[in-house]
Structure 1
Amino acid sequence: MLLVAAFARMSDLGRLTDYAYDQATLSTLALDLVNGKSIPTLGIQSSAGIPNSPMTVYVLAIPYLFTDDPQVVTMIIAAFNVFGVGLLWYLGYRYFGPRIALLAALAYALHPHAIHYSRSIWAQDYHTPILLLALLAALEGYLEGKRWGQIAMLPLFLIGAQIHYAAWTLLPALLWIVLRGRQQIDWRATGLGILIGIATLVPFAVGLSQATDAASATALDVVDRLDSLILRNKALLYLARLMTGLGGPWVGMPLIGAYDVVLEFPSAITLLWLVPAAFMALGQVISPRRRGWFWAVLFGLWVFLPFAIFLPNWTGVYPHYFIPNLPLMALLAAVGLDWLLERLAPRAALRIALMGVFGIAVLTQGWAYLRFLQNIDNVLPELQPTPVHYLMSVRDALKPYDDVLIAGGTTGESGQPVWKALLYNSAECVRELVIASGGIAVFPEGPFALLTAPNALPPATGDLYESENSTTYPLRPGEGSYTITPFDNAPEWNGPEMQPVHLARFDNGVELTGYHLEENRIYLQWKLPGQGERAYQYFAHFLDSAGEKIGQQDASFYPEYFWCAGDTIITWIEADVPTETVTLRVGMYTLENDRFVNSQLVDDAGNPTLPWADITLSAPDSSE
């Protein structure tokens, strides 16, 4: 059974997994931790806007101790989930017998949602085995009185629940086990487990205390929703999807019909997928008499209660919130099928037919997902990012370059977050040719490679970076290609001549080194330090001969996470420049504690002087 699970999750060797913003950002945080650059106290933001615990990063850092290859990390995560299939088999064997264990493990090993959410660098893809370990620890600890289980249950659960907050909905199931086994409680073991569990929460508590604004905003949003609670059918839709295996992109290929998110069954093949769902329902119904009320309640709390909790609209809800429910769904299906097989004991032909239908249903589920994987390597299904192996070919070509500039990238799939992670151990600096206001040209200090993303729009810099020395790396048909253009030196600026500015260095390390004014546009030239710590705006005030402000223009500065030491940038914005202007005043400011704070000019000794640079236009080579 483990071989079946491994083949379903690992046969592509990690080549066809997603690698976009979430995967890349988590990877960068994990690599920063592994390399001693930082110890995060928060993870990335959840899809519902709730801050995630840094436990997502701490667990992911383990495979990144050994490799920076996302394909290898994906394989390690997939192998961990194969171990999860083994845990389910062990649970079934220990408490229900060998036949139920085998049937449950088979159903879980080949369930398309279980495969899909077990082979990516994503928090939901590696917390289910941890939660299964917590369940086993609870059962052995409180039903059988084993001290290790009582020590381990709460820490394991809190680790899993911190990886994704939706797992907190499984806590009632564990408390039910503790209640049932209350006479077996060893208070020393349980107390030690509580202390260890609290210790796992400390980094998250520190992070929340430092991000009070975000946490408060999320809490207020939940409170606002409580004032107008309504029931919604999303959670029930996701319950139907997970019970049947439908509702995923694997039913959207030409193989088995059109993808339909409202659970219209696309073909006779997927109609068979209703069979395991029917056995799940049957398993829940017969559990009180067949297995006793303890197991009936436990199944209800683990499998169905989480969906009920997300029925009201108190927060957002998505299918991956319920991935930890899948193992016990498979166990329920096995319980239901086993009960029917026992009832049909005198009728061997019917037993064989029933087993055959169940086997075909779960085998076609796994087969459909594997066909989906094969197809996404050549076609563009809905919401399916570029498989990572295409990106790895580009990464290998970029490895000789210490400096990479990205043109036309998108934040989610082809921008700096993705390539910063992929080039973590090869490129010193990765940034994008993009700014929120106006236009920008970036001139690295030394050799660099320009990476042009697929289907990139022409940059505002025109032909500044054009070169015949480019190499193209095609992606899937219709998806475009990446282009790498190497430069030994930064290209010469082909815009208007910049007038030099001297002695205009701000306390954030940025230097204003030049300017050019036109009737409707202002160009400013800057020299950057290394990566900044906060976002800045810049302003240009236009003063008349009396020193009065007669116009101004503010704009977002180049994002601080794009700053590379030694880079020269030229920014430009549209502005109505009054003809009476004799002095150009330029400054920078940031937002601190809900108020604007100017960055100060500093002298050669680093002492603050003025909050802006005044440039006398009649003498463009001077600055005060």
Structure 2
Amino acid sequence: MPRSALLVPLAIGLLAAALRLWAIDLAPFGYDEVDVLGRARAVVDGGLTATGPLTSWGIPDPPGSVYLMAPPSLLPRPALAAAAWAALLNVAAVLMTWWLARRFFGPRVALAAALLYAVNPWAVYFSRRTWAEIVPLYTVVAIWAALEVVCHRRSVWAVPFFVALALQVNTRILALVYAPAALLALALFPRRWGWRWPLVGVALGTLISLPYLVYVAGHWSELAARLAAGNRGIDFDAQNSAPALLLWTAAGYGLLPASSRAAPWLDPLGRAAGLTLWLVAGLLLGGLAMTLRAVMRRRRDAPALLLPGLWLGLPFLTLMAQSSSVYLHYLVALFPAVFLVMGFPLGALLGSRRTGLRLVGGATLILLCAVQLATTGALYRVLAAYDPDETRAAPLELRQAAAALPREAADQLGTGERYGVELPLRFWQAVADATRTQAARIGVSDVLILAGATDPLTAERPAILDYLLRPRLEPRFLQADTLVFPVDRPALVLETPDIDPADTLERFGPRLASIPVPSTNRTGRDYAHLTLVESRPLDAWNNVPPFRNRAAFEGGIELLGFRGERVVRAGDSLAVVTYWRLGPETATAPVSVRLVDASGGSLVRAEPRADPALTATSGARILVRRQELAIPAQATVGDYRLEAIVAGPGGNLVPRTGGRGVSETLATIRVYPR
């Protein structure tokens, strides 16, 4: 091969790297990324594992993805390093696709297939995520090895073939969709494979899979029951069929909405992308037709053309046959076969003796690449709105578009998935950096977090912050309707965007930092806030409630006061915020409020909750709790007493100290007709 020919893969590789590594901190970062990276951190810390993240089928994946992300987990910014590492692995897959196609199908097919792979928006998007269902690099190796065996009769390549498949399956169990294609490749050409080298490959693959196989054997009854449950998808009634999603994936369509109210400047690009769906459909049909024709005529190149077709068609049919919904991210399993099949007719056109056909091939390739590059460029332009530096703030319209586009794209996709414009790693890393900086400045080792949920094992925002803040800080998550502060020392509170806390945090201390995020509101911004709750004497906390009602209950629970309206209409809700001081020995405080009539009958009572957030800090604490009283629409008009109570074991109420009953009257509430 002349040296000048190496300029083509070099240019394609640089293009693929530029698209995948550009502003890598704008890569999506959500629960799935944290699930893999958190397990990788545990492995680095010395805890080996036989399983990986949980699949939508309810069973755990093998641990391959966890071990794959262990190297970047050793670096100072592991989340950023992992995104770059995943991107580089996919750049390698693009380059190997060019070499594979160049070796077996010629330079023109190599140019078309590798270029389409390099610029495909979905390929670029998933290459920046650490949880992608499939590692395309392993698939390229498997296809290359199969072609070496079948086309060049080099049976020793059976070893990397089976090893690559084993690594793929041990990365994501979804890779079992390759089984029909692999088995058919063996069945069609048994003499070319032989038995010795396949046996070595199977042995090595089994050795790689052994930890997971042992786990499956030990939990078979449980796993079988979960698999028997069938569809465990997000949306059981997907709006788009699997063939449509295949075309979308191959054409890079749907990453951004084709028609947008929030960003009408995207509409021309959406129309152009819609036209490319027809071109892609024609190329796929043309590639499969070329394969079928070669097989029917028993041409010498038939086996080479057949294998990519098998690697495209059979995994896709297997995906359609399995019980779970077919989601777009499953179709990463079709990389790079889908680009090879599309490259067959493009290569034929580019190599035609007729000038007109060469022009058609070149124009088609240029058009596809131009539209797909424009799609990725538009996505990156929108993501630029997530700059945490407000001195470089994006225009208002772009910030509002960045906040609205995720819903529009999800509605268009119609599978319950949300891809494209998402809260990027840049935002979450800025939040974590600011939190660590402020915690070090005020000398605290933990941070109280309002993230809308409290369990990092099941909720996305707690999972992200738990991963990014540890091990230097201990995150303690609070319910959105609850605040818990230590009495005798300062506390740092992180409030994530779109959270309505029980009380305005600035009432308790100064705001230390605000990290902006795009919003659909008038300013186009929301914020994550960091607030310092200053330490103050016990008596100073008595002045915090707007309305003060001191009452001591048994168990070290003391009511300080409340905040709320004095009037409400029947059928509406009355929001009441109560303020309590808890003693060091108080482990639980299921506080509540109720409305009672003049005879003592209860009109409505807020459900008490024994909040685990009370353990978020030790020693004496201040508890702020917001509760909603839903006034019945048929409630009698008149005056009611608003009372504070504390629920005890067995449904009984905790008495006040000194034998003063079981409640404290806060105010008289007037209920008006609706």
Pair in the same fold by TM > 0.5? yes
Q: TM-score range by the shorter chain?
A: 0.7 to 0.9
Shift in Å, 1:64: 1.3
Residue 430 of structure 2 is matched in structure 1 by 393
CA distance in 2, matches of 1:527, 1:563: 12
Contact 1:443 1:490 in 2 (8 A): no
Q: Name structure 2 gaps, 5 residues minimum.
A: 1-11, 386-397, 408-420, 440-444, 562-575, 592-606, 630-645, 661-674
- Cα separation, 1, equivalents of 2:122 and 2:231: 32
**Cα 1:397/1:230, change in 2 over 3 Å:** closer
Opposite residue 21 of structure 1, the aligned amino acid is Y
Q: Which residue of 1 aligns with 2:565?
A: none
The equivalent of 2:15 in structure 1 is 4
Q: Residue 118 of structure 2 corresponds to which residue in structure 1?
A: 109
Distance 2:170 2:608 in 1: 41
Tell me which residue corresponds to 1:284.
288
Contact 1:416 1:431 in 2 (8 A): no
Matched to 2:612, the amino acid is Y
**Are 2:351 and 1:351 aligned?**
no
The equivalent of 1:533 in structure 2 is none
- Give the AA of the match of 1:430: P
Q: Give per-residue Cα distances to partners, 1:484-521, cap 9 Å, x unaligned.
A: 113464896657768698xxxxxxxxxx8657799x99
- Structure 1 residues 129 and 525, CA gap change in structure 2 (3 angstroms): farther
Distance (whole Å) between structure 1 residues aligned to residue 341 and residue 335 of structure 2: 10
Q: Which among 325, 334, 345 is matched to residue 336 of structure 1? A: 345
Q: Distance in 1 between matches of 2:447 and 2:120?
A: 41
Residue equivalent to 1:382:
406
Structure 1 residue 287, shift from structure 2 partner: 1.3
Deviates more, 1:85-94 or 1:188-197: 188-197
Q: What pairs with 1:322-471 in structure 2 (closer than 5 Å)?
A: 322-342=331-351, 344-345=352-353, 347-378=354-385, 379=398, 380=402, 381-383=405-407, 384-400=421-437, 401=439, 402-409=445-452, 415-427=461-473, 429-434=474-479, 439=482, 441-443=484-486, 447-457=490-500, 459-460=501-502, 466-471=508-513
Residue type matched to 1:387 in 2?
P
Within 5 Å, give how 1:288-299 maps onto structure 2: 288-290=292-294, 292-299=301-308
Q: Specify whether residues 98 and 123 from structure 1 end up closer, same or farther in structure 2 by C-alpha distance, changes over 3 A only.
A: same
Report the Cα offset of residue 77 of structure 1: 1.1
Displacement of 1:331 in angstroms is 0.9
Letter aligned with residue 16 of structure 1: L
Distance 1:80 1:278 in 2: 30
What SS does the corresponding residue of 1:121 show, helix, strand or coil?
coil
TM normalised by structure 2 equals 0.69
**Does structure 2 conserve the Cα–Cα contact (< 8 Å) formed by 1:252 and 1:258?**
yes
User: In the alignment, is the contact (CA less than 8 A) between 1:166 and 1:322 conserved in 2?
Assistant: no
After superposition, where does 1:123-522 map in structure 2 within 5 Å? 123-124=132-133, 127-141=135-149, 144=152, 146=154, 149-185=157-193, 187-205=195-213, 215-222=223-230, 234-249=241-256, 251=258, 254=263, 257-258=266-267, 266-268=270-272, 270-290=274-294, 292-312=301-321, 314-342=323-351, 344-345=352-353, 347-378=354-385, 379=398, 380=402, 381-383=405-407, 384-400=421-437, 401=439, 402-409=445-452, 415-427=461-473, 429-434=474-479, 439=482, 441-443=484-486, 447-457=490-500, 459-460=501-502, 466-477=508-519, 478-487=524-533, 489=535, 514=557
Kindly report the root-mean-square deviation, in angstroms, between the aligned alpha carbons of the 2 structures: 4.5
> CA 1:442/1:133 → structure 2, altered by over 3 Å: closer, same or farther?
farther
1:95 aligned residue: 104
| Counterpart-to-counterpart distance in 2, 1:522 and 1:167 | 55
| Cα distance change on mapping 1:431 and 1:354 into 2, 3 Å | same
Greater shift, 331-340 or 411-420, is seen at 411-420
Q: Specify the SS of the correspondent of 1:51.
A: coil
Q: Match of 1:86? A: 95
Distance change in 2, residues 1:418/1:356 (3 Å): same
Alpha-carbon contact 2:139-2:335 (below 8 Å) kept? no
Contact 1:448 1:486 (C-alpha < 8 Å) held by counterparts? yes
Q: Alignment length, in residue pairs?
A: 549
Q: Give the counterpart letter for 2:226 in structure 1.
A: T
Which secondary structure state, in structure 2, belongs to the residue aligned with residue 449 of structure 1?
Answer: strand
Q: Find the aligned partners of 2:483 and 2:159 in 1 and give their Cα distance.
A: 57
Q: Deviation per CA, 1:94-129: give whole Å up to 9, x if none.
A: 2112221121101111111111111123233x6121
Change (3 A) 1:133 1:187: same
In structure 2, the partner of 1:603 is: none
State how far apart, in whole Å, the 1-side matches of 2:150 and 2:613 are.
Answer: 53
More divergent stretch after superposition (143-152 vs 114-123): 143-152
Deviation at 1:46, TM superposition (A): 2.5
Structure 1 stretch 467-476 or stretch 38-47: which is displaced more?
38-47
SS at match of 1:431: strand
Kindly indicate whether the alpha-carbon contact (under 8 Å) linking 2:515 and 2:528 is maintained by their aligned counterparts in 1: yes
Partner Cα distance (1:330, 1:571) in 2? 58
**Aligned match for 1:20, one of 30, 35, 60:** 30
Q: How far has the Cα of 1:211 moved from its partner?
A: 6.6
Structure 1 stretches lacking a partner, 5+ long: 260-264, 502-511, 530-535, 541-552, 577-582, 588-613
Say which structure is richer in helix.
2
**Which whole-Å CA distance do the structure 2 matches of 1:166 and 1:224 have between them?**
14
> What SS is found at the alignment partner of 2:85?
helix
Q: Residue 313 of structure 1: CA displacement?
A: 6.9
Preserved CA contact (<8 Å) 1:527 1:569? no
**CA distance in structure 1 between the aligned counterparts of 2:255 and 2:149, rounded to whole angstroms:** 37
Counterparts of 1:213 and 1:203, CA distance in 2:
18
Partner of 1:262: none
**Secondary structure at the counterpart of residue 122 of structure 1:** coil
CA distance in 2, matches of 1:39, 1:554: 42
Matched residues in 2 for 1:167 and 1:430: separation?
36
Cα distance in 2, alignment partners of residues 409 and 376 from structure 1: 24
How far does residue 308 in structure 1 lie from its aligned partner after superposition? Answer: 2.3
Task: Please state how far the C-alpha of 1:572 moved relative to its aligned partner.
Answer: 6.9
Amino acid at match of 1:466: F
TM-score by length of 1: 0.74
CA-to-partner distance for each residue in 1:307-331, whole Å, 9 max, x for gaps?
3233357212200101131311111
How big is the shift at 1:448?
Answer: 4.0
Q: Deviations over 1:39-98 (max 9, x none)?
A: 344333334544323322221222212343423321221111000001111211121122
Distance 1:515 1:586 in 2: 18
Tell whether the 8 Å contact from 2:553 to 2:656 is kept in structure 1 after alignment.
no
Deviations 1:512-561 (A, max 9, x none): 8657799x9997958699xxxxxx99999xxxxxxxxxxxx88564279x
| Secondary structure in 1 matching 2:116 | helix
Q: 1:180 to 1:267 in 2, by over 3 A?
A: same
